[in-house]
Structure 1
């Protein structure tokens, strides 16, 4: 982790979800008992109590309500099938629903949690050590302070729904893959910081405070919808993030990055930005190709901080901007090819430090001249 990575207040803000997870992990304590019934999938029925350690695959046969501090402890590699039932805790200020044991002396198998609801805990899932591999499939997580959390954990989240959590999924130094899942009304939906990765595909983030945040991790987001979030994606040094074929609609902020030396430029391909506040606020190098911007207050803005630049470059290739406020406002060095800005109420193309690669079009924009920094046709 770079020594200077937390030197700006913005870095702390972007790390907030991951920092929150790590703080919550410190509150994890051992379990107490309260009776409930479960049925092992591979052996005779067993009686499970709150605080039990599950050493073999098991399927719950009834809802399980625990007073805390721990619901169940899962041995590494087991499958907990919630059987469509609810694992309910004492509320979002106390307790951990599931603690996954980790033995790093051997290869760590995947622990699976599936088919049910976890609600009303401080943490939905925690681990005894870093290195856990956890699959959450067809799981609903709600009303937790920290949902699928951990430090140095590998999570795969499939076909799941996370709602009304303070921090729904992620942590520090973790690797999180989200597939075909939904995040609604979380303060922080998905956040990883300090190292690791975020991979999201085929998912929906709706009405969250911050939908996705990353700091010093790799990130790829594909075929995902961001709807009415305050901040759809916030990135701090996210090592060449790649966003492909996503839809950003009605967010206050679409994609916002922060200043700093990057390990690679961000790549945005075939995304659609509709009716957002600022669609893209760029503070690091980016390559944008075949993206569409319609009805945003600002299409793309790139204004340098007071610090010296790290040779940032914005390249626009075959993007279209219509009916926005300002379409393109870039004060950095840039390269523009086949950029179309039509019918925007503010600037069409303002890129005074641009290299003109040709084929740019601007007309019907509210601020004259139609183009600054490049030559534009009106057709």
Structure 2
């Protein structure tokens, strides 16, 4: 009897807990093309909108595509964001639009966060347009576990910014394209695009990502870009920089099998602890003196055609290793030698030009 009473009490307690748990409100079905969504909503089937914008979100709304496709016209926007307030878009495909996601009226005040997760953007002119108010900033875009394919531009913005995590970009004209904005890209793969990342007058940071098989991996102007712990492989040019009076930091990366790994044109940059292997050219620069300087510290160049090859002044070399390259190991006749550089087994003699390599004989 006592055992039964205890069990009955446990059942009652468990039952009371279950009853007390709040039920999750069901998302309202999207009524159709052109709808302005004022409450959390879901697609119940694929939705094709032959003309006009697809859906407009109001502040605080979540749109769950529920695995369906929202398709439309290259003259319209798939999902229009409110100027102010937070919104969420998830779980589906957005295809065929002029802009898949965009905020209108950016002459007005713009703010809040757009969270985009598990969305595929396919064959849009712009997948996500992050542009904000002229001379100011836009809505913050948090993009995760999403796919961008065959868009003219995957994620782009003028006076806008995005934080992109664990996402994939393939076969886009430019995967990430920012002018006077900013992008942080983490743990993502950018493969087979015309340009992986274009960073013009913008703050750009790339961490633990793969930029593979693109025409240009990273094209940087004015402010510079920071690249850490990433792989840049099989690109025609992995990193190119022009007129960067700011500064680029390139640290702990692997540059493999590119045409040119790093080329600097009148740009400030520091390259630290990178590995260069199998590239046509590892590092080259035009110097850009007297206004621009570059510093290479602790990099390793192995089995490239040319490892370090430039004639201009303005670049300092310290503790770099260039071994077993087909032609030049270190050819830098006007470099500043900070010591500790080494080279051996390279095709051209002398092994080091412009710096003293203790294992390779005197400077040429």
Q: TM-score, normalised by structure 1?
A: 0.82
For 1:84-105, what per-residue CA distance to the aligned partner results, in whole angstroms no more than 9, with x for missing partners?
1111224xx3321111121xxx
Q: State which drifts further: 60-69 or 227-236.
A: 60-69
CA distance in 1, matches of 2:333, 2:173: 38
Match of 1:226 in 2: 211
CA distance change for structure 1 residues 343 and 75 in 2, over 3 Å: closer, same or farther? same
Match of 1:254 in 2: 238
Tell me the SS of whatever aligns to 2:31: strand
Deviation, 1:287, is 1.0
Paired residues for 1:338-377 under 5 Å: 338-377=319-358
Deviation, 1:356, is 1.7
Which residue, 206, 212, 217 being the options, matches 2:202?
217
CA distance in 1, matches of 2:226, 2:268: 12
CA distance change for structure 1 residues 68 and 279 in 2, over 3 Å: closer, same or farther? same
- Which structure is richer in relative contact order (CA contacts within 8 A, separation 6 or more)? 1
Paired residues for 1:1-379 under 5 Å: 42=25, 45-46=28-29, 48-90=31-73, 93-102=74-83, 108-130=84-106, 131-132=110-111, 133-152=113-132, 153=138, 154-193=140-179, 195-239=180-224, 241-260=225-244, 262-263=245-246, 265-283=247-265, 284-304=267-287, 309-330=289-310, 331-378=312-359
Conserved? CA contact 1:212–1:232, under 8 Å: yes
Deviation, 1:115, is 0.8
CA distance in 2, matches of 1:43, 1:163: 32
CA distance in 2, matches of 1:217, 1:100: 23
- Greater gyration radius: 2
Deviation, 1:310, is 4.8
CA distance in 1, matches of 2:223, 2:90: 31
Spell out structure 1 runs of 4+ moving beyond 3 A: 41-47
CA distance in 1, matches of 2:122, 2:199: 22
Q: State which drifts further: 219-228 or 123-132.
A: 123-132
CA distance in 2, matches of 1:114, 1:70: 18
Q: State which drifts further: 157-166 or 61-70.
A: 61-70
CA distance change for structure 1 residues 44 and 181 in 2, over 3 Å: closer, same or farther? closer
Q: TM-score, normalised by structure 2?
A: 0.85
Deviation, 1:128, is 1.8
Conserved? CA contact 1:125–1:147, under 8 Å: yes
For 1:288-344, what per-residue CA distance to the aligned partner results, in whole angstroms no more than 9, with x for missing partners?
111000000000110146xxx352111111111011111112323222111111111
What root-mean-square deviation, in Å, do the aligned CA atoms of Structure 1 and Structure 2 show?
Answer: 1.7
Conserved? CA contact 2:238–2:258, under 8 Å: yes
Q: State which drifts further: 150-159 or 168-177.
A: 150-159
Deviation, 1:285, is 1.4
Match of 1:18 in 2: none
For 1:24-69, what per-residue CA distance to the aligned partner results, in whole angstroms no more than 9, with x for missing partners?
xxxxxxxxxxxxxxxxx84674561100100111122221111122
Conserved? CA contact 1:101–1:129, under 8 Å: no
For 1:128-178, what per-residue CA distance to the aligned partner results, in whole angstroms no more than 9, with x for missing partners?
233243111111000111110142132221110000111111110111111
Tell me the SS of whatever aligns to 1:135: strand
